[in-house]
Structures are given as structure tokens and as C-alpha cells.
Amino acid sequence: MRETTILKWQQIRKWVRGAAPFAAGALAAFLGIFLYQTIRPMPAPLTERDVKEKVLEVLASATPEPSYSSQVYRIIQPSLVLIQTTGENHSETGDVGLGSGVIIDAQANILTSLHVVGDAKKVKLTFFDGSESGALMVAAMPERDIAVIKATKPPEILIPAVLGNPNATQVGDEAYAVGNPFGLYSSMSAGIISGFDRVFRMPESGVEIDGMIQFDAAVNPGNSGGPLLNRSGHVIGIVTGLINPSKQNFFVGIGFAVPINVALEAMGGAPPY
């Protein structure tokens, strides 16, 4: 009986010695958690201002990216030029012709349509910053209705447009026209490219221009000479005319532009691609 009791106590001591490290570790963990909870400062409660700022942060993260058209407009707007002309037969207070142009280089050369400036006695340019200048004819390409004019007093900050590659576009691609229809400065319209290699007959001269880009972005008198742009804001053409079976000066859905690589031939320039 005594030997049995001694044996049981030996087994108990052996179990206690084996469990002691685990118990010590558990006790240390509990003590660590207790001390951390005791020493760590409690977080400050959220104020009404904190809640509002968090809500605004979440709303800002949910704001959609700007549209392609708005980005195109911001890109081209500093390069757009309003062209006002007075013809040989106009009096000092007579009718003023309107058109558009686009700055193409740092030398203040501007591409536009020849029919906008060809017969003008006086040309006035208005730039994005509101400054004004006269203009000189640099070159002309009558068979494409393209003219290159140069500002006699360019603005202090000159921002040429980025010239694109019309050969990289296809029917159905976005097309944007920015100009000054009816003198409404820096107006934008959006549409698609409707076709290529079209032939357009100039209503004034009867000259036929082939290889034109057809598009359906709205253009009206005053858009002539302005840029046609792709979704990246690159100039792919110079707006030349529109078709209207009624012979009235308003848009019915068919506009034409001279491809920019062709327009650059007027000044002996090579395409930028």
C-alpha cells in the first residue's frame, strides 16, 4: 500500500515538471496582454469633423475620371486661334469674316483654310490669353484649301498643338471639332469619323478636293480652318467645309477635313510620325 502511494506521488511530480514550462508560458502571455491593455492609451473618440472628412474622402475616391472630350478640349484650347477678316469690298464698319486656326509650331505659324483668309484685306488673330495680332500669309495650297499664316505679334506664351496621325484612325473613331462657329469662341462638338478619301467641291471656287476625312461632329460657319482631333487631343485634320443640300449655312451632319499630313505640305513640313 505504501509503495503504491509513493509511486502515485512520483507520477504526479513528473507530470507537474512536464507541464511547468507550458504553464509559465501561458502565464507570461496573460501578463503581457494585461500590461499592454493597461499601458496602451485608448483611442480618442471620433468627432463630427472626423466623420465628415472621412465621408468626403470616400466620395472623392468614387469620383469618375474626366471624359475624353473634356481632356481633348483642355489640350487643344491654348492652341486655338480666332480669325476675323475684312475683305476688299468691306467698309471699315462692314461685315467681318470669321474662321478658326491652330498654332502648329513655336514660330507662331498657324494652319487654317485658304478660303478664310485668301481674299482678306485685313486679318486679326485672337489667342487663348486674349491677346491680339495681325497676320501675314506664309504659304498657300489652293488645291487643298490650306493656308499658313504667321502672327505678327505672337502671344508671350505660345503653345503649339500636338499633331497626330490620321492614318492611325478608322471609321467609327471619336472625332472632335474645336473652333469658333458664328463667332462663338472656342466651341467644341463631338462625333465620329464617318469616312475617308472623300471628294469635296468648294462652293465658292468649284475646286474639288480629294482625300478628305468625313466626320459628323457639328461644324458651322466660323469652324473653317479649325482643328479636327482624335481622342488624345492630337490634330488629325483641318476643317474645310460642310455639305448642306439646302445651300444654307448650317450643319446637317456631313463635315470634311484635310488630313493634317496633307495640310503640312503647304509649308514643306513633314508629318510628325
Top mean pLDDT of 51-60, 61-70, 92-101 is at 61-70
Measuring CA to CA, which residue among 233, 60, 95 is closest to residue 160? 233
CATH architecture for segment(s) 166-267: Beta Barrel (2.40)
Instruction: Quickly state the pLDDT bin for 43 (edges 50, 70, 90).
Output: low
Residues 124-143: what's their mean pLDDT?
94
Is residue 102 pLDDT above 60, yes or no? yes
| Assigned CATH topology for domain 68-151 | Thrombin, subunit H (2.40.10)
pLDDT at position 203: 75
1-5, 170-174, 205-209: range with lowest mean pLDDT? 1-5
The stretch 181-210 carries a mean pLDDT of 90
Lowest mean pLDDT among 187-191, 200-204, 218-222: 200-204
User: What is the Cβ-side half-sphere exposure of residue 83, based on CA atoms within 13 angstroms?
Assistant: 38
Active site residues: 115, 145, 224
The separation between the first and the last C-alpha atoms of the chain, rounded to the nearest angstrom, is 106
Rounded mean pLDDT of 127-141?
94
pLDDT for 79 equals: 97
Residue 63 has pLDDT above 60, yes or no: yes
Among residues of the chain, what percentage have pLDDT more than 90?
57
> Which candidate, 197, 205, 200, 226, places its Cα nearest to that of 113?
226
All CATH 2.40.10.10 domain ranges of the chain, comma separated, are 68-151, 166-267
Confidence at 127, pLDDT banded by 50, 70, 90? very high
98, 114 contact by CB (below 8 A): no
